[in-house]
């Protein structure tokens, strides 16, 4: 099927080796609990058609791979991801890991059993998704493995847990677990940061995760840029995620021009191999609190032409959209 929208885009806007990779997107997400009430109907056929359309659009623009960065706790449907990948030809890489603390169920935040929950039990979930296959909860473990571990820092505006052994405890345990699982599987960790990434990065480092296997997402937040965080972290060896392409101006992220300039500056400083761009879109979102774009085409349709117009070279685009993300997704110990 073709999903090209007339003259909206004349053909692929990104031509390179294997096609573009978006590291920070979400295919399908559900507010936990929305599946429990009678008035919300999740139309699976309609969901599938909308996602097929969005992914075909991405592929026609020159896209090859999308990483679903939602982790395990925001409604991931691994069988849907597999099916979409088959029918659209877009490679979909699932992440394991947990979303924000408020999406993690009480089995983890306030376990009732005598032994309680441990970092290693959480790490085991992530490790097995990276090495043994993705979970279809209560039923199946698929042949496809997760490609990366995704974790999220709690942001100021996030809902508070009604009760927990401590928001910071579950977050710290999840971070440690992500590093242990990633190290065991030779995979990388992506962390969506909020106000202060240093605490969570310190935990990952303490567990032995190298900076070059840590992708820090959300670094195109305007105040982080003002504070010089992208340059500082890139200089320390971290992968810098500028992953809010095409977000509305009032969301607190860099505008398109400023993001292009930041990327060019990083290349200028010799740090161009430590940057990725993505758009944090959600293909289909059910009942999520804030509306988010469902368009996976923004990076290719908007960022790429703007980057070229500002003097960016195709070789640099290839680094940003192919070489660096593919290296991050490549296992360091493929036998694991």
Partner 1 sequence: MGTVNTVLGPIPTEQLGITAVHEHINFGQNGWYLESDSWHPISGTIARAESQLADFRALGGRTYVDLTGIGNFRSVELYRVIARATGINFVACTGFWTGMGTRPFFWDKPVEYLTELFIKEITVGIDDTAAKAGVIKVGVSHRGLSDMDRKIYTAAGRAAVATGVPILTHLSTDAMTQLDILEAQGLSPDRVVIGHADAGVDVDRRRDLEVARRGAYVGIDNIGYETEKTPRVPWAQARRDRLRQLLDLLDAGFADRVAVSADADVQPLGWVSPPHSVAELLNQFVPDLRAEGIDEAIINTLLVANPARLLTMQEV
Residues lying near partner 1 in the complex (CB under 8 A): 31-34, 36-38, 72-73, 102-114, 121, 124-125, 128, 135, 137-139, 141, 159, 161-164, 287
Least gap, CB of 103 to partner 1 (angstroms)? 7
- Report how far Cα 184 is from the mean position of its chain's Cα atoms: 20
User: Exposed (0-12), middle (13-18) or buried (19+): which is 253, by Cβ within 10 Å?
Assistant: buried
Q: Which is nearer to partner 1, 112 or 226 (CB)?
A: 112
Least gap, CB of 286 to partner 1 (angstroms)? 10
The strand pairing partners of 276, in sequence order, are: 241
CB 90 within 8 A of CB 66: yes
The strand pairing partners of 97, in sequence order, are: 150
Q: Which is nearer to partner 1, 74 or 319 (CB)?
A: 74
The strand pairing partners of 215, in sequence order, are: 190, 239
Q: Which is nearer to partner 1, 73 or 319 (CB)?
A: 73
Least gap, CB of 100 to partner 1 (angstroms)? 9
Contacts of 33 (CB under 8 A, 6+ apart): none
Q: What are phi and psi of 67, to 5 degrees?
A: -95, 125
The count of residues in the chain is 336
Give the N- to C-terminal CA distance of the chain in Å, as an integer: 38
Q: Which is nearer to partner 1, 194 or 256 (CB)?
A: 194
Instruction: Determine the Cα–Cα distance for residues 31 and 28; give it in Å rounded to an integer.
Output: 10
Instruction: Determine the Cα–Cα distance for residues 125 and 173; give it in Å rounded to an integer.
Output: 13
Least gap, CB of 240 to partner 1 (angstroms)? 30
Least gap, CB of 308 to partner 1 (angstroms)? 42
Q: Which is nearer to partner 1, 135 or 189 (CB)?
A: 135
Neighbour count for residue 79 (Cβ, 10 Å): 13
Least gap, CB of 142 to partner 1 (angstroms)? 12
The answer to whether the Cα torsion of 63, 270, 255, 24 is positive or negative is positive
Contacts of 37 (CB under 8 A, 6+ apart): none
Q: Which is nearer to partner 1, 131 or 332 (CB)?
A: 131
Q: Which is nearer to partner 1, 44 or 107 (CB)?
A: 107
Q: Which is nearer to partner 1, 82 or 124 (CB)?
A: 124
What is the secondary structure of 32-46 as a DSSP string? TTGGGSTT----HHH
Least gap, CB of 101 to partner 1 (angstroms)? 10
The strand pairing partners of 136, in sequence order, are: 140
Least gap, CB of 31 to partner 1 (angstroms)? 5
Residue 278 vs residues 24, 33, 138, 313: alpha-carbon distances, Å = 6, 28, 32, 18
The strand pairing partners of 316, in sequence order, are: none
Least gap, CB of 161 to partner 1 (angstroms)? 8
Q: Which is nearer to partner 1, 3 or 164 (CB)?
A: 164
């Amino acid at each position: 099927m073709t999903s090209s929208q007339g003259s909206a885009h004349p053909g692929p806007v990104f031509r390179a080796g294997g096609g573009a990779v978006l590291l920070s997107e979400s295919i399908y997400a559900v507010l936990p609990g929305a599946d429990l009430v009678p008035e919300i109907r999740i139309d699976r056929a309609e969901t599938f058609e909308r996602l097929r359309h969005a992914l075909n659009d991405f592929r026609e623009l020159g896209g090859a791979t999308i990483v679903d960065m939602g982790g395990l706790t925001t409604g991931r449907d691994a069988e849907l991801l597999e099916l979409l990948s088959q029918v659209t030809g877009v490679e979909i890489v699932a992440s394991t890991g947990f979303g924000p603390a408020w999406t993690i169920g009480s089995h983890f935040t306030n376990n009732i059993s005598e032994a309680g929950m441990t970092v290693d039990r959480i790490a085991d979930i992530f490790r097995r998704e990276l090495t043994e296959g993705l979970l279809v909860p209560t039923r199946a473990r698929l042949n496809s493995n997760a490609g990366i571990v995704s974790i999220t820092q709690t942001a100021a505006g996030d809902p508070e847990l009604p009760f927990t052994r401590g928001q910071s405890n579950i977050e710290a345990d999840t971070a440690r677990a992500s590093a242990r699982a990633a190290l065991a599987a030779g995979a990388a960790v992506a962390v969506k940061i909020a106000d202060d990434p240093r605490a969570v990065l310190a935990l990952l480092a303490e567990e032995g995760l190298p900076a070059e296997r840590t992708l820090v997402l959300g670094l195109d937040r305007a105040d982080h840029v003002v504070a010089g965080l992208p340059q500082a972290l890139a200089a320390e060896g971290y992968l810098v995620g500028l992953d809010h392409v095409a977000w509305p101006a009032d969301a607190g992220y860099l505008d398109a021009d400023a993001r292009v300039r930041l990327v060019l500056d990083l290349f200028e400083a010799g740090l161009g191999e430590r940057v990725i761009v993505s758009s944090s879109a959600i293909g289909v979102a059910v009942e999520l609190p804030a509306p988010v774009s469902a368009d996976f085409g923004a990076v290719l349709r908007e960022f790429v032409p703007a980057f070229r117009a500002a003097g960016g070279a195709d070789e640099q685009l290839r680094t940003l959209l192919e070489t660096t993300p593919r290296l991050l997704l490549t296992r360091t110990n493929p036998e694991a």
